[in-house]
Amino acid sequence: MSALRHELMKYLQLRRSLGYKLRRTEKLLQQFISYLESEGAKTITTEHALAWSCKPVDTGSNWRSDRLSVVRSFATYLQTIDVDVEVPQRDLLPCRPRRASPYLYSQQEIAALIEAARTLSSPLRVATYQTLIGLLAVTGMRVGEAIGLDRGDFDIRHGVLLIRHAKFNKTRELPLHETTVTALRRYLARRERQRLAAKSPALFISPAGTRLLYCNVQWTFQRLVRHAGLVPRTRSCRPRIHDVRHSFAVATLVDAYRDGVDVQQRLSVLSTYLGHVNPARTYWYLSGSPELLGRAAERLERCGGVTR
């Protein structure tokens, strides 16, 4: 193992101890070190970092900026032990703001996606994606959390899911509605009939008996989006699987306003359920729904917060 790769392992170990997963970061930095080795470079220079970050040549500014940012962070760490390491400046490859507008799914659109899963190639894939999409819709889980579930994480007796190793290595329990428990129990029964089911501890499995891969789930979801006839609302508002989580959050808060309950209390519970570090991270969902903003304004006006 080269000196750079050895330092990379120490760098990743340090940052992961702080709660970061860094799967993509590790992949990119391994590729970058391979590039340095092919160029005969012994350490990181700004010239090499820029050249690698701009590969391939037909990529956009955000792609290049992301790659340089990954290298820059590693270079900053390395410079503490090797003064010859060059740390690229922040503004060498600027990127454009790119936060996507959430695509808020209606109940009818979620139903259409679940129905579209019937077109998948095998009965197990049909059951897997129908159950997965349904679970995301009623819990707001992150996709990575859902596909990371093991069978033992589902407590059938008490109707609870255990989310382990979530963002920042947090662990939380999600109480489920009885209909969700029934759906998961039904999926497990279907799963166990699969010949290779015992091969993996994963709750959701592929026809090969392996844990679902994030990239494959993304690809399959986009196929279902097209089959369901869902189209982008704007250039920045496209149906993504992560937006099922946004939709759950917004619907929860809309229901709170509609039912006249304490919205701040509901927001605090929602933040915990979603696995946010603090409620402030949940507030961003407020800006994604005109209905939610309208109900908030109505509540404020009724309480005398707005005068005409």
Catalytic annotation, pick one of 64, 245, 246, 295 = 245
CA distance linking residue 276 with residue 278, whole number of Å = 5
**Catalytic (active site) residue 195:** no
Active site (annotated) includes residue 142: yes
Find, among 8, 13, 79, 93, the residue nearest to 45 by Cα.
Answer: 79
User: Which of the following is catalytic: 125, 151, 164, 167?
Assistant: 167
User: Is 42 marked active-site?
Assistant: no
Tokens 């507008």: give the residue: 101
Please state, as a whole number, how many other Cβ atoms lie within 10 Å of the Cβ of residue 157: 6
Grouping H, G, I as helix, E, B as strand and the rest as coil, residue 96 is coil
Structure tokens at 296: 């908030």
Q: Residue 16: is it exposed, middle or buried by C-beta count within 10 angstroms (0-12/13-18/19+)? A: middle
3-state secondary structure 252-294: HHHHHHHHCCCHHHHHHHHHHHHCCCCHHHCHHHHHHCHHHHH
Q: Is 177 assigned a catalytic role? A: no
Out of 48, 67, 72, 142, the active site residue is 142
Q: Decide if 245 is catalytic.
A: yes
- Kindly name the residue from 48, 64, 276, 295 that is annotated as catalytic: 276
48 in active site: no
Say which of 242, 257, 266, 299 is annotated catalytic: 242
The residues annotated with a catalytic role in the active site are 142, 167, 242, 245, 276, 285
